[in-house]
Amino acid sequence: MTLNNRFYQEKCYKDFSTSYFSLPTPYFLMSAPLSFNHFLRERGVDSNVRSLLYHLARGVKYINFSIRAGNTGKVGSENSSGEEQVALDVLADQLILDELRKSELCDCVASEEQVACTDVSGPRGKYFVAYDPLDGSSLIDTNLAVGSIFGIWENSEVLEKPVENGMLAACFAVYGPRITFVISIKGKGTHEFELNDVGEFILTEADITVAPETKYFAPGNLRAYAQDPKYKAVTDFWLAEQRKLRYSGGMVPDLNHILAKGNGIFSYPADNENTNGKLRLLFECAPMAFVFEEAGGAALNQAGGRILDTIVTDYHQRTPIFIGSKKEVEDIVQMMSS
């Protein structure tokens, strides 16, 4: 990832600090062209989608605050898939739901933490948002980075259709040493923003691209190494090629690493117990596939099908995924499916 935009910001700041008293324009106004909303408006993003993204970004700020201030322990409850919830799973889910209600733009919304779709229809409500409010929450007690993932569709008629149908945008937040928000809008690329000290998301990288080939690999679900000779061959290939291992156990930081370095592959295949893998189509894989395709990358399932072509049969359906650098993903899925 180049840092041109950040250098520009720093230059603005230096110009400001050296000439503060002679300049009539305060710094916060000088930085306005790089702000989240301004950037999206300049790129011609529809005002409703911008408004939805604004509310999601607001939820992200509250989740960030909760992570830093909140209870990282388990609550003894389970989500709709029977996975143990931590207190922050429950809180993050509520914070996003509240923001989407306030937007008055959604018909219904689906969360990884809820069994069914939640009806939130406001007067203008027509959009559908699917989200994983706190992906990687089982890592929260270890102080590794975690994230939130969102997909936005033009209406809630998503079942029995390819998941790409009506998909308008996708984004994810990384709660790490820095708080970043990566946004992709259909046909308008993938862009990264960073939360600054006054609570505003500022552009740090426009038009992120992922190169077709890679030196990094992030091999999820290595249980399949012992079960599937093809996954063993793939993993052995990465090791023999002396690729660099970059795997944290959180899909969001692992995929963000690929975007930040501009190349890489992340895999999460099926295993004998989880015949469709672990990761959810609507809450995790489709939004990330959208982000990567907008950046020139690829996201395929184990049989070589495009993730975004998958027919949605259930809000909680899972899919194996190979995502990242286009040529690498295609070559590896060829090895998995031949």
Q: How far is the CB of 83 from ligand AHG (least distance, A)?
A: 6
Judged by CB under 6 A, does residue 250 bind ligand AHG?
yes
Contact region with ligand AHG (CB under 6 A), list: 39-47, 49-57, 136-144, 169-177: 136-144
Nearest CB to ligand AHG, comparing residues 4 and 80: 80
Nearest CB to ligand AHG, comparing residues 221 and 310: 221
Contact region with ligand AHG (CB under 6 A), list: 11-19, 195-203, 227-235, 243-251: 243-251
Candidate list 9, 66, 111, 138; residue touching ligand AHG; CB under 6 A: 138
Structure tokens at 196: 């600054």
- Beta partners for residue 324, in sequence order: 265, 298
Nearest CB to ligand AHG, comparing residues 209 and 276: 276
Q: How far apart are alpha carbons 95 and 108 in whole angstroms?
A: 16
Candidate list 49, 91, 251, 281; residue touching ligand AHG; CB under 6 A: 251
Quick one: three-class SS letters along the chain?
CCCHHHHHHHHHHHHHHHHCCCCCCCHHHHCHHHEHHHHHHHCCCCHHHHHHHHHHHHHHHHHHHHHHHCCCCEEEEECCCCCEEEHHHHHHHHHHHHHHHHHCCEEEEEECCCCCCEECCCCCCCEEEEEEEEECHHHHHHCCCEEEEEEEECCCCCCCCECCCCEEEEEEEEECCCEEEEEEECCCCEEEEEECCCCCEEEEECCCCCCCCCCEEEECCCHHHHHCHHHHHHHHHHHHCCCEECCCCCHHHHHHHHHHHCCCEEEECCCCCCECECCEHHHHHHHHHHHHHHCCCEEECCCCCEHHHCECCCCCCECCEEEECHHHHHHHHHHHHC
Judged by CB under 6 A, does residue 220 bind ligand AHG?
yes
Nearest CB to ligand AHG, comparing residues 125 and 250: 250
Nearest CB to ligand AHG, comparing residues 138 and 301: 138
Judged by CB under 6 A, does residue 136 bind ligand AHG?
yes
Candidate list 58, 61, 278, 326; residue touching ligand AHG; CB under 6 A: 278
Nearest CB to ligand AHG, comparing residues 135 and 205: 135
Burial bucket for residue 314 (CB in 10 Å: 0-12, 13-18, 19+): exposed
Nearest CB to ligand AHG, comparing residues 39 and 268: 268
Q: How far apart are alpha carbons 250 and 220 in whole angstroms?
A: 9
Query: Is residue 17 within 8 Å of residue 42, measured between CB atoms?
Result: no
Candidate list 15, 46, 83, 213; residue touching ligand AHG; CB under 6 A: 83
Judged by CB under 6 A, does residue 287 bind ligand AHG?
no
Q: How far is the CB of 275 from ligand AHG (least distance, A)?
A: 14
Contact region with ligand AHG (CB under 6 A), list: 52-60, 137-145, 202-210, 317-325: 137-145
Judged by CB under 6 A, does residue 190 bind ligand AHG?
no
Nearest CB to ligand AHG, comparing residues 280 and 326: 280
Q: How far is the CB of 161 from ligand AHG (least distance, A)?
A: 25
Helix axes of 286-294 and 251-261: crossing angle, nearest 10 degrees = 0
Residues of span 297-326 touching ligand AHG by CB under 6 A: none
Candidate list 99, 113, 135, 328; residue touching ligand AHG; CB under 6 A: 135
Q: How far is the CB of 100 from ligand AHG (least distance, A)?
A: 20
Binding positions for ligand AHG, rule: CB under 6 A: 83, 135-139, 220-221, 249-251, 268, 278
